[in-house]
Amino acid sequence: MIIRRYLPKDISEIVELFYNTVHTVNLRDYSLSEVDAWAPKYIDKEAWNHRLSENFTIVAERDEIIIGFASLTYNGYYDLLYIHKDYQGQGVAVALTDIIEKEAVLCGISELTADVSITAKPFFEKKGYEVVGKQTVERRGQLLTNYKMKKNLKN
């Protein structure tokens, strides 16, 4: 596995990974209408590229296929973490999260926050994140449950 910085040429593969992961992996914790609202068929690639380019975004590749990605804002928000549906449980999320956390420390960030799905909550708890609160967010008319989580980093 190779982990590298995000490049704009990755955007099509990234949005496809996002859509497919939400519609398979997250379907065990959310209804079809909820995942359709969370990850619609049409995703604004230009907006996503802008978001990923302005943050510290990394991708994991195996055999030139993107198998995961993660993104950190420079104010300490762990924005995105998605792993390809066929590469779950293989250490990709751990590797990406370790790099995200190291980058945060290098940037002088002492605490990370994240809005974490029901599906991802156990992973984040294993990585030392604490639940701040359960929340309901609205996406395209659907109400989805997720968790505000945080982790104090050692500088």
Strands 2-5 and 78-83: unpaired
pLDDT digit string, tens, across residues 9-59: 999 999 999 999 999 999 999 999 999 999 999 999 999 999 999 999 999
Q: Note the pLDDT of residue 141.
A: 86
Residue 33, domain CATH: 3.40.630.30
Domain that holds residue 65: 2-109
Answer yes or no: is 150 within a domain.
Answer: no
Answer yes or no: is 38 within a domain.
Answer: yes
Q: Note the pLDDT of residue 137.
A: 85
Q: Note the pLDDT of residue 142.
A: 81
pLDDT digit string, tens, across residues 47-56: 999 999 999 9
59 phi, psi to nearest 5 deg: -125, 145
Answer yes or no: is 114 within a domain.
Answer: no
Among 9, 37, 27, which Cα is nearest to 137's? 37
pLDDT at 101 > cutoff 80 = yes
User: Is 101 in contact with 129 (CB distance < 8 Å)?
Assistant: no
pLDDT at 155 > cutoff 60 = no
Q: Note the pLDDT of residue 3.
A: 98
Among 152, 151, 87, 141, which Cα is nearest to 114's? 151
Q: Which amino acid is present at 77?
A: Y
Q: Specify the pTM.
A: 0.94
Answer yes or no: is 134 within a domain.
Answer: no
Answer yes or no: is 141 within a domain.
Answer: no
> What average pLDDT does range 1-5 have in this prediction?
97
User: Is 3 in contact with 99 (CB distance < 8 Å)?
Assistant: yes
- For the chain, the domain total comes to 1
Answer yes or no: is 33 within a domain.
Answer: yes
Q: Note the pLDDT of residue 154.
A: 77
